[in-house]
Amino acid sequence: MPSSLFPDSFPEPWAAEWGEDEFGLWMALVYQNICQVFRWIRPGWFLVGSPARERGCYEAETRHEALLSRGYWLADSACTQALWRAVAWIIRAIS
């Protein structure tokens, strides 16, 4: 079993806002008034695969347990075009 269900540090230095809600820990990265929220995905066991009754499930698909040995931060939505442009500008500027 993983040694800790929580991140090593919270909040991270880059976080402009942070907290905990009904879904767990979250942090927000804000750059040039563009906000991207990240959610803590904690380590542990979880089921992989679709239930047999789920629409579009393949016959050969078998649900099974998997272990996430380390937690990580995951963006809670797709990267927006505005954020992509801001990050690309930074990368070009430091290259």
Domain spans of the chain?
17-94
Give the pair of three-digit tokens for residue 26: 């979250």
The helix (H) or strand (E) run that includes residue 40 is strand 34-41
Residue 29 phi, psi dihedral angles, 5° rounding: -95, 125
The residue count for the chain:
95
pLDDT tens across 53-94, in order? 888 887 777 889 999 999 999 999 998 898 888 888 878 888
User: Which amino acid is it at 52?
Assistant: A
Which residue shows structure tokens 């563009």?
A: 34
pLDDT tens across 2-61, in order? 446 788 889 999 899 999 999 999 999 998 889 999 999 999 999 998 887 888 887 777
Give the pair of three-digit tokens for residue 38: 């990240």
The helix (H) or strand (E) run that includes residue 73 is strand 72-75
What pLDDT shows up at residue 45?
95
What pLDDT shows up at residue 5?
74
What pLDDT shows up at residue 94?
84
What pLDDT shows up at residue 47?
92
